[in-house]
Amino acid sequence: MNSNTMRKLAFTLLVGAATQVVAAPAPVTEISGNSAQGGSLERLERMIEARNQVQLDMQRQLDQLATEMDELRGIVERNSYDLSQMLERQRELYREIDTLSRQPQAKPAEEKASEKASTEVYSGNVSENEAYESAVNLILKEKDYTGAISAFKGFLTTYPESSYKPNAHYWLGQLYFTQNQLPDAAEQFTAVASFEKSNKRADALLKLGIIAERSKKTEDAKKYYQQVISAYPNSTSSRQAQSNLDKL
């Protein structure tokens, strides 16, 4: 074998060896790529699962908060209703206190009875005036409503024919009404309603309608409201009676 042939053979062997060296790593590279891709998918799946779990936890928390909000809303609504009822009873009492405080002072004892304009003007009896004003002051000044009830009842017993009689009954009705003693209040307002010329009669009839309504006596309530509307048109009591009647 000559030298040229040997050189060719050596060159061929070197080329073959180099080709094997270059080609051999190819399978390793493919396996490594598949492994990396599988790991990425697993991490992505874990991230999705973690996100879904967080979303579920947040939804449960939101549902719980919504339930608690509904419960709180119900409590607030009940408390608001109770408060509005209490405030309305207080406003009714204060309106009457304001009305009474605006009335004129007692007339002198010697003033003639013929000068009286109605059955509710001030009496000429000083003791009677003092007794009445003392009962009123228990409300206006001392805020002693229980004492005022006793004072007005005592006044009506001592002065059964007093010109203050309708007002005394009305005050008793108001005091019982604000304390939710509805039967006692109804008795007093019925007494006021018996005085045809009393300027408290319209409101007394209105209160009787309200008491009947609260007592679930709808037909009686309608009769009282209609009586107010018929007897005292265009009055504040009439407008309130119509409003209440429309809701029945």
3-state SS assignment for residue 147 = helix
Which residues of the chain fall below pLDDT 50?
2, 10, 13-15, 17-31, 101-121
pTM of the predicted structure, to 2 decimals: 0.53
Could you read off the pLDDT of 187-218 as tens digits, one per residue?
Answer: 999 999 999 999 999 999 999 999 999 999 99
Kindly state the tokens that stand for 214. Answer: 């609260």
CB < 8 Å & 24+ apart, contacts of 62-67? none
Q: State both tokens at 168.
A: 């005394």
- pLDDT score, position 236: 92
Two structure tokens written together for 38: 């599988």
Q: What is the pLDDT of residue 233?
A: 94
| pLDDT at residue 41 in the model | 79
3-state class percentages of the chain: helix first, strand second, coil last, to nearest 5: 80, 0, 20
Site of tokens 């209490």:
86
Tracing tokens 């207080």 back to the chain, one arrives at 90
Spell out a b/e string for 4-17, using b for 16 or more CB atoms within 10 Å of the CB, else e: eeeeeeeeeeeeee
Integer Cα distance of 188 and 204 in angstroms: 9
Which of 125, 154, 122, 121 shows the shortest CA–CA distance to 138?
154
Q: Is residue 164 helix, strand or coil?
A: coil
Burial of 42 (0-12, 13-18, 19+ CB in 10 A): exposed
